[in-house]
Amino acid sequence: MHRTIQKGVAALAVLVAVAAGSAAVSGAASSSSSNSGTSGSTSSQGSTTAPAPPRDPADVSHGPGETLLTGDTADKVKQAALDKVSGATVIRVETDEEGSPYEAHLQKSDGSEVTVKVDKSFNVTSVEDGFGGGHP
């Protein structure tokens, strides 16, 4: 009888082991699929929540009361600014509400930005570091 009990206990142990193994495999499979879904959404969230690239200064709104320049006036302001800051790229030219009739926003060859103030005779009156007064 002792042998029968041993065989029964051994058989029961095997059944428990098989059941536990099946549960573990099933749990791992469902955990893996939910984790891959989570990690997939995390990686996609990572790409959508990545820091935005720096704003293009040309897209920054100008100050209140300022308007973009066009035509001959724009050309003369651009030329005056480029004569003063050689090798720069004009981002935009506009009227100015802070002391000068016109201003040109430029990006220098080193990547820094300057604002060039220009008078009505198209003479440069000042060159300021940065993109201007910081209007949003």
The CATH code of the domain that includes 101 is 3.30.505.20
Q: Report if residue 135 sits inside a domain.
A: no
Residue 10, domain member (yes or no):
yes
Q: What is the pLDDT of residue 40?
A: 47
What's the pLDDT at 39? 46
Range of the domain at 64: 57-129
| Contact of 113 with 135, CB cutoff 8 Å | no
pLDDT at 121: 97
CA dist 89 and 78 (Å) reads 9
Helix ranges (DSSP H) in the chain: 2-48, 71-84
**Residue where one domain finishes, among candidates 50, 68, 90:** 50
**Residues 70, 113 share a domain:** yes
Specify whether 46 is located in the same domain as 83: no
Task: Quote the number of domains for the chain.
Answer: 2
The pLDDT of residue 135: 46
pLDDT of residue 97: 87
Report the DSSP pairing between strands 124-129 and 89-95: unpaired
pLDDT in tens, the chain (136 residues): 656 666 665 665 655 555 555 555 455 544 444 444 444 444 445 555 555 455 565 566 667 778 999 999 999 999 999 999 999 999 999 999 888 999 999 999 999 999 999 999 999 999 999 986 554 4
CB atoms under 10 Å from CB of 90, counted, come to 18
CB contact at 8 A, 90 and 131: no
Q: SS3 of 73, please? A: helix
Domain identity same for 84 and 117: yes
